[in-house]
Amino acid sequence: MKKAFYSKVAGSLLLSAGLLASGAAAADETITLNAGGVGVFGITHAAGEEFTDTFLFSLTPDWAGWAAGSAAVGITNLNGVLTPNVDITNIVFFSEVGGERTELETTFNDGAITFYPTAMLEAGSYGFTVTGVVASNVQAGSYAGNLSVTPVPEPATYAMLGVGIGLLAFTARRKTNNKLG
């Protein structure tokens, strides 16, 4: 009786562990942007697996601007032929407000695996989903990439730049030598 009970407990623990592991595989990954506005991402998937991976990032008011990303896929040697081991079929940006995600118009170039939203991103929470399939039913596949954000200067920055250039022009004008013409 105890043996049957323990085997059922062990079976349910294994099932629970499997469910938790599969839930963890579908979890969102967070990208941290460095001081230069660049973050890295990537995942390895099992052979033959179809996937939809989600990567999240946030922009502060200082980093509101244009975002763009690129990715590279792993290469596998299948019967002496080097082939990409992952086929990325689409990448789409989204904004996230209050837990609700709204897709953003995204340009995706599957030949070079580059992607970017067609509009500038304001401060807030964003992400993108990568969908595809592992090309081999025998070997795992992987991809990695980077996301870069180029901030757009605030109007006050342009005003300071204009004042600085104006002061330089005024100073240069005052220093002209009238004797030379």
The more confidently predicted of residues 13 and 158 is 158
Fold of 25-152: Jelly Rolls (2.60.120)
Q: Strands 86-97 and 100-103, how do they pair? A: antiparallel
For the record, the structure tokens of 93 come out as: 């940006």
pLDDT tens across 135-145, in order?
988 889 999 99
**pTM of structure:** 0.71
Q: What is the pLDDT of residue 180?
A: 60
Q: Is it the case that residue 175 has pLDDT exceeding 70? A: no
Q: Is the pLDDT of residue 14 over 70?
A: no
Question: Torsion angle of alpha carbons 152, 126, 107, 32, nearest 10°?
Answer: 70
**Tokens (6 digits) for 83:** 């082939």
Kindly indicate the confidence band of residue 178, based on its pLDDT and cuts at 50, 70 and 90: low
- What residue spans define the domains of the chain? 25-152
With a cut of 60, say whether residue 36 has pLDDT above it.
yes
pLDDT surpassing 50 at residue 19: no
Q: How far is CA 130 from the centre of its chain?
A: 9
